[in-house]
Amino acid sequence: MSITEIESYRLSRRGFLNAAALGAASIAVSACATTGPGPVEPPPPPTYVEPPLADYASMYAAVNDGGFDLPAIPVDRIDPQFLRQIVPDPTGQKPGTIVVDTTGHFLYLVRPGGQAIRYGVGLGRAGFEWSGDAVVQWKQKWPKWTPPDEMIARQPELKQYSADNGGMPGGLKNPLGARALYLFQGNVDTLYRLHGSPEWRSIGKSVSSGCVRLMNQDIIDLYDRVPSKTPVIVTSDARQPMVATANHKAIPIDAGVPDGSVLLGPVKAVTNAIF
């Protein structure tokens, strides 16, 4: 074997040994490394999205409810802002709370995920005389209405519906409409009502009498969404609900409007008269 061949052999053997050493070191290092996937972050909680409402023609269509045929509401004759819709919640209240904005003529039912279902309302004189917090203490379908003595004195024809005569049965002409939600503070009746009305023209307006009125199809929808003891805030600004205590005589509720109430009455037209 020549000297050149010997040197070439030595270089080849040295390269082989060096490569083997590097391979062993690589295996040793990889044995200490984590070969599995990294830590898995838990997925973020799903954002609640309110199920979409039906189209307006369906929501305000004619419907038979409790044996009464409610006529369809001509939605094309109502300002669209007062039709039922899902909006970003402006109130900051807990889900499940009702907020009545007496300035905007809106009622908000706060939902999860920063949303609210908004209904247009009509406000009577009582809508501006009472503000504060309350709870839905009583709910009635097609409630009976008992006009107070003061109202009967102004409208003697209402005497047939006095407390002594059993009140006005529920029906299409009843001023409380298809549903009524009765608001209390503790065990004291506030005399404040969220109720239905056949007078869809009064929605979004301030009228002569009544509390907070919704279109009958809307009060039915609201009634079905809220349980008893639902908190209610009535305020002039939904963005800054002010909780105030109203001074009202404590009158126990009965099957209709409590005796002495002057807050409810039929609306025949949008005027300043007291019916």
Q: Could you tell me the residue ranges of all domains in the chain?
A: 54-141+174-238
Catalytic one among 32, 105, 211, 248? Answer: 211
Output the pLDDT for position 208.
60
Residue 168 DSSP class: B
User: Which tops the pLDDT comparison, 202 or 270?
Assistant: 202
Q: Are 198 and 178 in contact (CB under 8 A)?
A: no
Output the pLDDT for position 40.
73
Whether 131 has a pLDDT exceeding 80, the answer reads no
Among 123, 124, 118, which residue's Cα sits nearest to residue 106? 118
Name the pLDDT band for 37 (thresholds 50, 70, 90).
low
User: Which tops the pLDDT comparison, 240 or 257?
Assistant: 240
Put simply, whether the predicted model's pTM sits higher than 0.85 gets the answer: no
Name the pLDDT band for 112 (thresholds 50, 70, 90).
very high
Q: Which residues contact 142 (CB under 8 A, 6 or more apart)?
A: 65, 66, 68, 170, 171, 174, 178, 179
Name the pLDDT band for 257 (thresholds 50, 70, 90).
very low
| 195 annotated active-site | yes
User: Which tops the pLDDT comparison, 93 or 206?
Assistant: 93
Output the pLDDT for position 1.
53
| 211 annotated active-site | yes
Output the pLDDT for position 135.
93
Output the pLDDT for position 154.
80
User: Which tops the pLDDT comparison, 33 or 213?
Assistant: 213
Which of 40-49, 68-77, 97-106, 259-268 is the least confident region? 259-268
Name the pLDDT band for 253 (thresholds 50, 70, 90).
very low
* One-letter amino acid for residue 203 of the chain: I
Hey, which CATH number is domain 54-141+174-238, 3.90.550.10, 2.40.440.10, 3.30.70.260, 2.40.50.100? 2.40.440.10
Catalytic one among 32, 105, 195, 248? Answer: 195
